[in-house]
Every structure is written in structure tokens, then in C-alpha cells.
Amino acid sequence: MVARDNMGQDSALRTSLHGVLIDVLGVGVLILGKSGIGKSECALDLVMRGHRLVVDDLIQIEKWRDGSLYGFSHDLGRHHMEIRGLGLVDIEKLFGIAATTDRKRIELIIELVEPEECIDDRVGLKEETYTILEVKIPRKRIPVRPGRNLTAIVEVAARDYLLKKGGYNTAREFEKELLMNLKKRE
């Protein structure tokens, strides 16, 4: 069945996921992780740094004809976040209309994980994806440890995604330089 959304796009497939979708530097970043790991707190900090909340908790996702995925909220939960210890907060009322947006293309997945669930790729050569509605989205697994600045890490991940989208891969460039230096020494 094909549904027509309010943007005039035909969408055939829909699903939902628990997480937070936020617009970071124009990149639709979907933050996933188990309950209580800090997804909403990270997103709140991103909003406080000037980024835009799309939806917290239950993200509605639809696949458009061009294969892109867009996330949005049901009307009831729009622009609200649940912050442990505070309860529900209205982000648009607290921070203004510029702190929210109704819909965003999902371009990058950040999965917050316990340290033991993640083998660190210290250089960044390993490229992982997360599949939603048969669409593969780049995924970064970030181990959550006390004292880590997850907000800064998510911002850097968005910037790195934009660099890669523009054709520059820091890890691959580093690897090339390293191999060239090793060959010079031989």
C-alpha cells in the first residue's frame, strides 16, 4: 500500500524504532542504544549546542521512492523529550522553534553501547552499516564510559560523515601516508 505524506512524496514502507533523531550540522543522526544508556541526554546536549531535535523515543520511519529514509514523530510526542529525573520537556517551548524540525533524512546511525559490547576500531578503517527497511545506513558504535564527551563525539562523527560524503576519508588517507612512509624506509 502506498501512502501519501504531507510532503507530497509517495512512501511504500514504514517502520518505527526507539532512539533519538537529531539534525547535527545538517546531517540526520539517529542515536540508538539500550534503555538508559544516555541517548536523550546526549541529544539534549546537542540541542543546547544549537542542533535540532526531530524526535525522541519512538521514531516513525518511512522509505521514499528514491530509497532514502525519513524520520518523524507522531503528533502527540512532537518536540518533546523524556529526560530521566525531569520527565517530559517541550524542546520547542524551552529553546525556540529553531531547536526543532519535523522531519529529517536519516544519514548516520550512532549506536551507544557498553564498552564490553564494542571492539574499538582505533583508526576508523572498518565501515559498518545498519539496515532499516532494506536501506544500509553508515553506523558508528560508540562505547559509553564515565567522563566521555558523547556530544562532541557525535558532532565529530557528523563532520566526518560530511567529509566522507565529499570524498575525503581520514583513515584511508592516513593509511596511504603510512604505507608511503614505510616504502620510503625500505
Catalytic residues: 18, 39, 57, 122
CB atoms within 10 A of CB 16: 13
The grid coordinates of residue 169 equal 576519508
CA–CA separation, 120 vs 140, rounded Å?
10
171 exposure class (CB count in 10 Å sphere: 0-12, 13-18, 19+)? middle
CA–CA separation, 88 vs 82, rounded Å?
4
Q: Is 47 helix (H, G, I), strand (E, B) or coil?
A: helix
DSSP H/E element including 43:
helix 39-48
The grid coordinates of residue 141 equal 558504535
8 A C-beta contact, residue 122 and residue 169: no
